[in-house]
Each structure stands twice: as C-alpha cells, then as structure tokens.
C-alpha cells in the first residue's frame, strides 16, 4: 500500500485540519509527521468548533487509528489539556491514539529559552509562537533531547541534566524566569502521557501498510515555512514538505502515493518574514475580517495578501503535488476584481521563479481577474459555481499545472465540494 500525504503550500493556516477531517473516511490511519503545538488545525462540524495542536485531525472519526510520529515535538502539559478537552466532548482517545516513543519532548525550559532567544534578537526576531518548538528541535539535532520513550525509565536523571544545561544558557542571557507553575503542569502531563499507547511508530505504520491499511499523513504549518526550502530564517524548525513524512514517520520514499497540496484562494502569513503580495490597504483589512484571519492557537492577526502563484508553483515542485485543494474561496465572494501574482520584479528584471533571497526589493507582478460577486457558501455542487469563479479555477489550474480537486466554501465540513469525481 501507498501512503497519501496532505500538507500546506503557503505560510501555514491553509485549513489542513478541515480537509483531513473530510478525507479521513477514506482512510484507516491518520498520522501526524512533524511540528508541535505552535500550529492549530481548526475543525467545525455539527455546530462545534475544535482546535487540534498535536493530535491528528482524524481523531473525530471513531474507527480510525491516529499516530503522532517521531518527527513531532510534544509538550505534555498542552497535550494533556487538549486530550482532556476532547475526551470531555465524548471522543475516546486512549483506544485509538498512538504516540511515537521517538517523538521529542518540549520541556518547560525550552519555552523559557524560546522567549529568551527572541528577546535577545530585538528587532530581528523571527516571530516565534513561544511554545519552545525551536529549542526542542535544536536539542534534537545536537543529540541532547528528551524523548517520549525516556519517561518509561530513569527519567528523573535525564530531565535534571537537560534542565541544568538549559539554565546555564538562560543565566548567560541574563533572562529572568519562574519555572514553578510550568513544571507542575508539565509533570502532570508526563503522568498523563503514560496512559496512552507509546509505540515504535515506524514499525506500527509499516505493519499497518503491510496488511493493506490506507494511511493519510498530515503535516503542520506550510511549505514556505520549511526549515530548508522556506523563507529562511523566518521559518519553523522542521521539514514541512512531503519528504518530512518519510523522516517523521519512518516511511520509505517509494511508499508515497498521492500528495494533496492545500492553499487558500489568497495568502496569509503570521509573524515576521517576507510576504511579496501583502496588502496594507482596506482590501487587506477586508480579507482579514471576512476570513477571520486570527491564529487558532496564538490569536495573532494574520497578514493578508493576494494569491502568490510564483511561491505556489515552487511549493508544488518541491512536494511533487498531484492534487490541489483550494480553501476559503468564499472569502473573495464580494470582490469585483481579484489579483493574482504571476511573477516578481527583482533588481529591475521580471522573474517567474522563487529566488534564494526574498526581500523588500521584490515586487509582485499581477494579473487582474473578474470577481464572481456571489455568495457561494450555500452551494452544494460544482454546477452552481458562477462563470467568473470557474474562470478563476481554470486560470489557476493552467498556471499551476495540477487539478484543483476540492474547493472549500466555508469552515464547516459540509461546505466542501469535490471536482473531477468521475475519475
């Protein structure tokens, strides 16, 4: 069996949680392969809204296996709060959630270090969420990390050594902090974790594939935040691209099947970093308001702009995307005209590729398209799409070279229309 991969193609917040929930009925397993609780996947159905930070979005489908892979970094305190909220809503996690022993633990001191490093950077800060993600991945690659499997034996000694090392760094930064409350909730989370299925997830997922189970791999953040291929250094600390599914779950590259790439009908970004199509006018504010563009975890206002096809084509290339999914189409329902960036102007030249360095000198080259000025939120089939919206879809497919197979017309699970179903 092959695994299918679902990931974001922009700067995160594309709506991956909803899509995973929509696609899950076709799969037996949903596996999260990277990232941490700095990103939230929002799902809305049956009048309820849920925000998942670490738990795979397939958890709402009662008969599915959900796996948190080795590429994920886990904060026990935040995990406990998230899991207990889901259990209180009637979702049984302990029977169908499996956690990799090789997943790294976010320590209380990682969160303090995150804040200290950002403070030290001053105006050059990258806009971290302060959840300790970067320092945890730093410990991982420097071979100093704590892993979920460590809680099963000699954990106190390992924790004390790591904490001492972190506190020496904090002392050198002259950063004041208080760990009392953070440590208390963190150790409560550690005890809570012990109630779950802690597994060698690489064996678990490959055994499931061997017996013919269908697996969907779920990524966090977006391609343009990838530590290698994103707009460095304003990126996250993990590989958000398709290849991250291999390293984050222990899956061989020849196991990859379909690659679903998710994008918004426009662009958003949270925190610092380059954003060529960002709008600083009332149009940008209107998109923000209509799209409710505020972080599901951080609450931060997202920067908004027109769709960037240069960056999208780059993301499609890097990931080997086979199917596209467009989210938040309805946010543009009221616009008479819509712009799409098809190239950049850089140093007096026009380029159609994503360059090494994106800075303030890069200017978007737009084409103007007719808006549809129609409320599409209650539409049930593709046959109801206005002509202008169909033209927008056709334009995007011609530019990107990949079919748009799903269109989202609102936040609810039911506001989802599939195309090309005859295939």
Q: Which residues pair with 343 in a beta bridge?
A: 365
Active site residue 13: yes
Q: Which residues 6+ apart lie within 8 Å of 216 measured at CB?
A: 3, 4, 5, 6, 20, 23, 24, 26, 27, 29, 30, 31, 58
Q: Determine which one of 13, 114, 150, 330 is catalytic.
A: 13
**Nearest by Cα to 115 from 77, 151, 162, 166:** 166
Q: Where do we find the tokens 């303090």?
A: 112
- Longest CA–CA span in the chain (Å) reads 66
Contact 30, 319 (CB under 8 A): no
**Nearest by Cα to 321 from 234, 199, 207, 403:** 403
Active site residue 41: yes
Phi, psi at 324, each rounded to 5°: -105, 150
Phi, psi at 311, each rounded to 5°: -65, -35
Rg (CA), the chain: 21
Q: Determine which one of 21, 41, 110, 330 is catalytic.
A: 41
User: Which residues are catalytically annotated?
Assistant: 13, 41
């Amino acid at each position: 069996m092959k695994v299918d991969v679902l990931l974001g193609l922009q700067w995160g917040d594309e709506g991956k949680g909803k899509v995973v929930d929509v696609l899950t009925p076709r799969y037996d397993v949903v596996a999260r392969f990277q990232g941490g609780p700095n990103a939230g996947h929002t799902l809305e159905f049956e009048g309820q809204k849920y925000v998942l930070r670490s738990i795979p979005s397939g958890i709402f489908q009662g008969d599915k296996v959900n796996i948190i892979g080795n590429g994920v970094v886990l904060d026990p305190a935040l995990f406990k709060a998230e899991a207990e909220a889901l259990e209180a809503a009637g979702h049984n996690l302990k029977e169908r959630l499996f956690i990799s022993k090789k997943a790294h633990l976010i320590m209380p001191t990682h969160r303090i270090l995150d804040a200290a490093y950002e403070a030290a950077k001053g105006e050059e800060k990258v806009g971290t969420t302060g959840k300790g993600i970067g320092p945890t991945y730093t410990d991982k690659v420097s071979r100093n990390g704590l892993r979920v499997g460590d809680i099963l034996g000699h954990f106190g000694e390992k924790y004390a050594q790591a904490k001492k090392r972190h506190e020496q760094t904090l002392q050198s930064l002259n950063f004041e902090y208080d760990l009392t409350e953070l440590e208390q909730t963190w150790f409560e989370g550690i005890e809570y974790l012990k109630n779950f299925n802690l597994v060698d997830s690489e064996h678990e997922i490959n055994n499931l594939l061997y017996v013919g189970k269908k697996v969907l791999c779920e990524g966090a953040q977006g391609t343009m935040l990838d530590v290698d291929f994103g707009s460095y250094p304003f990126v996250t600390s993990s590989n958000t691209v398709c290849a991250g599914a291999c390293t984050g779950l222990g899956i061989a590259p020849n196991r990859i099947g379909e690659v679903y790439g998710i994008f918004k009908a426009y662009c958003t970004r949270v925190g610092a970093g380059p954003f060529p199509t960002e709008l600083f006018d009332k149009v940008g504010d209107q998109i923000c308001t209509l799209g409710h563009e505020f972080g599901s975890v951080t609450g931060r206002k997202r920067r908004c702009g027109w769709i960037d096809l240069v960056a999208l084509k780059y993301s499609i290339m890097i990931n080997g995307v086979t199917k596209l999914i467009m989210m938040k189409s309805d946010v543009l329902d009221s616009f008479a005209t819509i712009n799409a960036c098809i190239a950049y102007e850089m140093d007096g030249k026009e380029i159609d590729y994503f360059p090494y360095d994106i800075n303030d000198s890069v200017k978007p080259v737009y084409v103007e398209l007719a808006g549809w000025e129609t409320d599409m939120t209650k539409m049930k089939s593709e046959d109801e799409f206005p002509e202008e919206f169909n033209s927008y879809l056709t334009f995007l497919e011609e530019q990107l070279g990949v079919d748009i197979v799903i269109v989202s017309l609102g936040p609810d699970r039911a506001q989802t229309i599939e195309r090309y179903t005859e295939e």
